[in-house]
Structure 1
Amino acid sequence: MSFPPTRAVGRGSAWYRGDCHVHSVHSDGELSPAELAVRARAAGLDFIATTEHNSAALPGAWGHLASDDFLIVLGEEVTTKTGHWLALGLAPGQVVDGNHQVRDGLIDQCLDQVHRGGGLCVVAHPHAPYPSGDFMFPFQGFDVVEVWNGLWTSDRPWNADNEAALAEWGRSLAADIQTGSWRPAMGNSDTHLEGQTGTPHTVVFAEELSTEAILAGIGSGRSWIAETAYVDVSFTARTAGRVAGVGERLTTQGGQVDVRAVIHGVPMGTVTFHTDRGKIHRASLPGAGPGAVQWGTTAEDSMFVRIEVRHPNGDVAALSNPIILT
């Protein structure tokens, strides 16, 4: 099989875990495609995306690694002089030219190339600590922001660069939702070395395990970010018999909204609820077993609600895209 199929059998309409930023020996990673696939499955992932620097996935390198329960999405890390970005959902052999920068004015042309094929454009590690790592392009035209990148975190899965990316995304969220142009957050490992795959990854609600459905879930914000597969989150908002999940809109008709989060795998952690007014509520998780946290609001008080789950040392264990209240 030259290239991986765009659809796997999967579990139908379900939550799927995936890492959309990995590198193999075909760019600057130390693992082969086969080794990456083995480690992704061991990490509890249902899909990965190939994102070699400024190059397409090679024919024959990935196709035989896909299976009924494991999807491989074709992509690229477009590596420019003024920032990196992910092109997800590319056609076999398709390459987006990375030889552009802010001053060229070519970014819109490159984004259009990806969008015409049904792909997504993701701002990658916007505050990465190396030359060209800082993202200098405007976010306008991009579909998603990688707020959590695992590469430069050493022995911890969270660092100051991720904190800055999360804060920047969080500050812009209210204005972007108001204008109808908000960009969902995602997290990826940016695997180059042994032991990185799946830390973190994005958990996506998709109608099926296919490239089209996974990208639709990511692009619509029907997703949340997990440190590892040991962490699980359920996040919903309810009013007058209506329920919405992450990335969805809840029509409240002015009524009270009950927001509920159930967290597994973060003992002694904390959950914070964030709205357009900032961090608005905080609760502690138990030392063992799942923790359930509830909070009440209205659409008048909260344009949206999202959550962050942190370990006792303050590192993020999970975070969600918003539920939008109208």
Structure 2
Amino acid sequence: MGIRRGRGHGWHRGDCHVHSARSHGAELTPEQVVAGARAVGLDFIAITEHNTSDTHAAWGPLAGDDLLVILGQEVTTRTGHWLALGIAPGQVVDWRYGIRDGVIDRHPEQVRAVGGLCVAAHPHAPYPSGVFAYPFDGFDVVEVWNGRWRSDLPWNADNEAALAEWGRGLAAGIHGGRWRPALGCSDTHLAGQLGVPHTVVLAEESTTAALLAGIRAGRSWLAGSAAVELSLTAATGDASAGIGQRLETGDGPIVVRVDVRGVPSGTVTFHTDRGTVHRVRLPDGGSGALTWRTDAADAVFVRVEVRHPAGQMAALTNPVVLAGP
């Protein structure tokens, strides 16, 4: 469920892991949250208080045509946290269990029953209960980039580990017909954290259902700020596909094109099931149109990462799936 707004087909920037003062350790009022979201150029947010729906009623008067608020919850179990996005007003998902209780499968189904989405949150968070002990199999999406700890340095070793773990399972998931997209969220608790990072989603309209469908399908990429712009396409013959889509390749050559803006002197890397296969430095101005060539016999998918000169992540994409003949 969410507060509706009126914007059509296109790319929408949103932060799916946001807390107000109703969550432990958070300090922002709902009014400050929505003001901050608008200030950093977000189109939607998901409010994910810890184990409560207390603020669900607060967001209606605060949203508008320029900002959608998705209702959610951070479910903080004893052995890992997960996000329930798109839940019903007032709905609370139980959190009082751990992996040894063997009940985790019951609770995501309650979220999906109302059209919601289940996200494995910050899998390698460095505190008790923060490390995600459950299999990713029971969840729809994996939060590989969580920016909570330092808004000035939102990429750290925990995110690097989460990205590596997600990336290792990507080829097998695609081959098996079920891969889990990556998500990037700020996990906002304090001022200055909103949108660092966030997820840019291709959706038919700016409604909860359409945005969650785009996230579930992997039609999205992750950005460190609204200053970063990116597109990724793969083409062969007359066919082309974008992020989260499948390219029917045949046996001809595939041309992969990436357009990036907003990352001065950054580095773009191309990744497939064989690992990192190509690396290009962006100009000092931060903008570039890059191409790389492959074929379906050599790559199951292609995705890209864009990093700042010091190695901090600026953006990363979900894959374009390359289907052979």
Task: Establish whether TM, by shorter chain, passes 0.5.
Answer: yes
Q: Pairwise mapping of residues 114-263 of structure 1 onto structure 2 (< 5 A)?
A: 114-153=111-150, 155-263=152-260
Partner Cα distance (1:57, 1:266) in 2: 39
Q: 2:285 maps to what in 1?
A: 288
Q: Which runs of 4+ in 1 moved over 3 A?
A: none
Q: Give yes or no for contact 1:75–1:86 (8 Å, CA) kept in 2.
A: yes
Q: Is 1:15 aligned to residue 14 of structure 2?
A: no
Offset from partner CA, 1:145-164 (integer Å, 9 cap, x none): 00000012363121000000
3-state SS of 1:204 partner: strand
- The alignment partner of 2:106 has SS state of helix
Distance in 1 (CA, whole Å) between partners of 2:54 and 2:171 is 37
Deviations 1:37-60 (CA, angstroms, capped at 9, x unpaired): 010111110000010000114353
Taking only the aligned residue pairs, the percentage that are identical comes to: 62
Q: Kindly state the Cα deviation for residue 97 of structure 1 after the two structures are TM-superposed.
A: 0.5
- Whole-angstrom CA distance in 2 between matches of 1:282 and 1:297: 14
Letter in 1 for 2:71: L
Amino acid at match of 1:14: G
Q: Is the 8 A contact 2:184 2:222 kept in 1?
A: yes
Q: C-alpha offsets along residues 83-119 of structure 1, whole Å, 9 cap, x if unaligned?
A: 0000000000001011011011111000110111111
Quickly say closer, same or farther: Cα 1:272–1:59, change in 2 above 3 A.
closer
Q: Structure 2: how far apart are the matches of 1:96 and 1:260? A: 42
Offset, 1:250? 0.2
Q: CA deviation at 1:289?
A: 4.8
CA distance in 1, matches of 2:123, 2:150: 14
Give runs of aligned pairs for residues 24-35 of structure 1, distance below 5 A.
Answer: 24-28=20-24, 29-35=26-32
Deviation by residue 1:61-91 (Cα, 9 ceiling, x = unmatched): 1111111121000000000110000000000
Q: Deviations over 1:186-213 (max 9, x none)?
A: 1000000110000000000000000000
CA contact (8 A) 1:50 1:57 kept: no
- Partner of 2:53 in structure 1? 56
**Closer/same/farther in 2, CA of residues 59 and 232 from structure 1, 3 Å limit:** closer
In structure 2, what is the Cα distance between the partners aligned to 1:257 and 1:25?
49
Aligned length: 322
Distance in 1 between residues matched to 2:152 and 2:61, nearest whole Å: 32
Answer yes or no: is the 8 Å Cα contact 2:56–2:71 preserved in 1: no
Give the Cα separation in 2 of the matches to 1:20 and 1:274.
25
* Structure 1: 5+ residue stretches without partners: none
Matches within 5 A, 1:276-315: 276-315=273-312
| Mapped contact 1:89–1:211 kept (Cα < 8 A) | yes
Alignment partner, residue 268 of structure 1: 265
Normalised TM-score (structure 2): 0.97
Q: Distance in 2 between matches of 1:179 and 1:141?
A: 15
- In structure 2, runs of 5+ residues without a counterpart are none
Equivalent pair of 2:2/2:208 in contact (CA under 8 Å): no
TM-score by length of 1: 0.97
Q: Following TM superposition, by how much is the alpha carbon of 1:293 offset from its aligned partner in structure 2, in angstroms?
A: 1.0
Q: Distance in 2 between matches of 1:4 and 1:121?
A: 16
1:36 to 33, 46, 51: 33
2:244 counterpart SS class: coil
Task: Specify whether residues 32 and 301 from structure 1 end up closer, same or farther in structure 2 by C-alpha distance, changes over 3 A only.
Answer: same
Per-residue deviation, 1:8 = 1.1
Answer whether contact 1:257 1:298 (CA < 8 A) is retained.
Answer: yes
Letter in 2 for 1:69: D
What is the rounded CA distance, in whole Å, between the counterparts of 2:189 and 2:286 in structure 1? 33
1:66-145 paired onto structure 2 within 5 Å: 66-145=63-142
- CA spacing shift, 1:180–1:161, aligned 2, 3 Å: same
Cα deviation for residue 27 of structure 1 reads 1.3
- Given residue 10 of structure 2, which amino acid in structure 1 is its aligned partner? A
Cα drift, residue 291 of structure 1: 0.9
Secondary structure, in 3 states, of the residue corresponding to 1:40?
helix
Q: What amino acid maps onto 1:167 in structure 2? A: A
CA RMSD of aligned residues (A): 1.1
